[in-house]
Structure 1
């Protein structure tokens, strides 16, 4: 049931932590003292999905990678399983989408940040030779890495493990409490997945997102960096740079593509789109 996302720089030791965590859960669940639900522990990784390190060199392939990861999470998340996702998970927009999947399925989730200095990960990657990332891909992934932020719902609860510290251990007790002992929040109208049955749903999805893009453009032209959605307390915080109409339209297209097969409550569309934009700026 719970979803545990592991994120960090390439070659930061994420897979080592993922396997440690899997062993810890299996030991706890098989203990005679444990009287709870009989969970299985699933580990999904780039390797298990057939994703090669060179795949991250092409933008089109990278989009396919994200789609494969999301599909795998949807496929493996079940009532009686603990899913550990061992991947880069380096873009906050992807972590947000995975958070929405967990929320829609009514399960708990957490993020583990395998944190390390860039040079530490670089040296590990170099030692791996041909089995590591190319220097070009490594540098590109590091430059685009978006660290998790505990103040963001999709990155919380967040557990940071300092990989370059020899004695650093996983905070297993805290992780167990976060994903097993705590009750999962119920799916809300913005994340609950249902078949798309309303005939005007796509029209409303298109119209609402288009209006929001227009609102952002108008505010940006007036040098306003925080855009409040009318009738709500939801705000869009623009990055410290101009956001082009091309970028806004691209994000809008992605959002519609993600949600076109699911019915979102009409009133929740602007709020959910705003969260998506905040996660991807």
Structure 2
């Protein structure tokens, strides 16, 4: 088959092909990122930087009505919905849509890479790493908990907390960096394109786990921005669930 003319190929198709090329043999957790992987990953990030809502035929949504209306989450309307674009053994790609005030709770991506690009609106993303050792400059004692709950604690560090819009570059996560994150809609509804590689698969050890922050300590070094925190693994929060809706954009063929 002759390769399609790039001028006739949709942006989402180009991104999917680059994702397939990038993640067909990614480095495993703990392995050094090779030159070929980094080059392809940079190309993928560049394409994700360029993508806009119009490329996916996605119309930005308005904020929910006045505060006098009933809260939508209390009447069976999911706070978050997902548009499935495509999935292979190497990666999944889709769009998450968050209603005004909605959040995707703090969760992990075991052994996975990810690239997230805001298509409209504004999100705040807080990224955490798990720690084997305390960060330099201080250690936060474990919070007092019943012995049965101590096994759910995870020593971690808050690496970053930043806001992203459609003009921002993508937020990137790796198996061992920025792997846990929380995503909050800021000042209205928002949508972002999301690539995960490989996809979630509970049968292969890649299930999604949720966490809550129990405590944190400022590093003693004032130039050190990271904070050591204790995270506790929890069940999926009852006020969060994700619905589905059709993807309106160009078809992806792989």
Q: Give the alignment's TM-score, normalised by structure 1.
A: 0.27
| TM-score, with length taken from structure 2 | 0.29
- Greater RCO between the two (CA within 8 Å, min separation 6)? 2
More helix by share: 1
- Of Structure 1 and Structure 2, the greater strand share is in 2
